[in-house]
Amino acid sequence: MKVLHVVNSMDPVLGGVSKAVTIIASSLALEGVINEVVSLDNPEDGFVINQSFKWHALGKSTNPWGYNPDLQSWLATNVDRFDYVVVHGLWLYNSYAVYKAFKNRKDNKGLNTGTKYLVMPHGMLDPYFQKASGRRLKAIRNWLYWKFIENKVVNASHGLLFTCEEESKLAKEPFMPYHPKNEFIVGLGVEAPPQYNPKMDQAFFESCKGLEKRPYLLFLSRINEKKGVDLLIEAYKKIILNPSAYLTANFQENGEQINKDANKGDFEIPALVIVGPGIETEYGQALLKKINDNPVLKNRIFFPGMLSGAAKWGAFYNSEAFVLPSHQENFGIAVVESLACKKPVLISNQINICKEIQNKEGGFIENDTLLGTTKLLADWINLSEENKKIMGNHAEVCFKTCFSIEALVHSWKTKVLDS
């Protein structure tokens, strides 16, 4: 079995699609599937190294559509070598190039030689992108693009691949005509994290100067308005400035009820560590200024930048919990990585895998509002240490049951490759 993955870029800075492609291709390789990836990147960039698949980097496009004429000719020469071609993402040239390649095969030969192409939208059919404030012009552009191009890409494919039931449900809402031949819920997973070792602590705390091994909540994603970073900071500020309004709760210890009073300093409010690229943007700089201008927040909120390797895993393993009040998230690889590290997640209900997490009691789920985000933080801080540990165990079970590599491979094999 041979599978070709076609993606605009494998640059990890651009978001989760490149990471998802790497996970899927590497996972299927464990079952003997031969995977290749073709992207519009410069080969010298070297994003993909030491992987179990061959990577064809055809050169970076310099236009917003991602047009590169070499992709069309490369597909025409190579597509018949594969059993399946998987288009990752929409709205860019790579999806249209695959559609044209298959259309040309039929037009020129009068038949399809057996290779099928599939489309994995990675959340790009979510109605959020048509409704969000500030995206009016982009929403009109997408509607026109769908009408003339993208509906053909989707409806002519063998089927759509979704990461969860919620993504499949939402994809039906924003555009017409929407008539995919098949829909497959294949899921997505992450590898089990490397086993904890003290070097991870050293790498992380060296990257996050001033934290000094204090307890903290971890945000790990792009610093972007869609991720709700502004909500998170404002909610955290509300609790810091007025703890008695949020952090008074009754606990049972040794069978005896005690009352913890925030005004008396019984609560240790964890610091907040915000990891990821984007602090250099206008949005990121505005957040940083707000924090630096507030002496209460300045010594409690940390921006270590983008972390990888031991420093990244150190950030997960040393955290109390993971927090992401995103306004839209198709899957959230970092959410699942946190679960894999036995760390509960405090997330919005706009993250499409929130139902799976809620069913397994692996975290708290609230609205993507200031009130909802404040409640996420307060509910976690108010939780007893015993219940925090229990929720951590549930988080690990959720990962193994729903989001492990084993679950991903089984889903692809039974629902797509062997069907």
- Name the token pair of 158: 């063998």
What's the CATH number where 25 sits? Answer: 3.40.50.2000
Residue 252 pLDDT exceeds 60: no
Determine the pLDDT at residue 47.
Answer: 85
Quote the pLDDT of residue 266: 44
Please report, for residues 6, 14, 195, 340, 353, the alpha-carbon distance to residue 203 in angstroms, rounded to integers and kept in the order given.
Answer: 35, 24, 15, 20, 30
pLDDT (tens digit per residue) in 257-295: 444 544 444 457 999 999 999 999 999 999 999 999 999
Report the candidate in 115, 328, 313 with the shortest Cα–Cα distance to residue 207.
313
Is 52 within 8 Å of 29 (Cβ atoms)? yes
The percentage of the chain sitting over the pLDDT mark of 70, rounded to a whole number, equals: 93
If asked whether residues 242 and 390 sit together in one domain, one would say yes
Please tell me the number of Cα atoms within 13 Å of 106 on its side-chain side.
10
- Number of alpha helices (DSSP H) and beta strands (DSSP E) in the chain: 17, 15
Q: β-pairing, 256-260 with 84-88?
A: unpaired
Please report the pLDDT score of residue 114 as a whole number: 85
Domain match, 261 and 396 both: yes
312 shares its domain with 376? yes
Assess whether 323 and 208 both reside in one domain.
Answer: yes
pLDDT exceeds cutoff 80 at 301:
yes
Report the domain count for the chain.
2
Q: What pLDDT does 46 receive?
A: 79
Answer yes or no: do 409 and 398 share one domain. no
| Sheet strand arrangement including 84-88 | 54-57, 34-39, 2-7, 84-88, 116-120, 159-162, 183-185
Do 181 and 243 reside in the same domain of the chain? no
Question: Rounded to whole angstroms, how far apart are CA atoms 149 and 72?
Answer: 16
Average pLDDT of span 227-248: 92
Of the pLDDT bands very low, low, confident and very high (cuts 50, 70, 90), residue 51 is confident
307-349 pLDDT tens trace: 999 999 999 999 999 999 999 999 999 999 999 999 999 999 9
The pTM (predicted TM-score) of the whole model is: 0.82
* Same domain membership, residue 150 and residue 226: no
CA distance 288 to 140: 33
164 in the same domain as 292 = no
Q: Residues 95-112: pLDDT tens digits? A: 999 999 999 887 665 445
Q: 273 with 144, same domain?
A: no
Q: Give residue 179's domain range.
A: 2-189+404-417
Same domain, 182 and 206: no
Distance from C-alpha of 403 to C-alpha of 350, rounded to nearest angstrom: 18
Tell whether 395 and 357 lie within a shared domain: yes
> Minimal CA–CA distance to 160: which of 189, 180, 187?
180
Answer yes or no: do 163 and 204 share one domain. Answer: no
pLDDT in tens, 9-28: 999 877 789 989 999 999 99
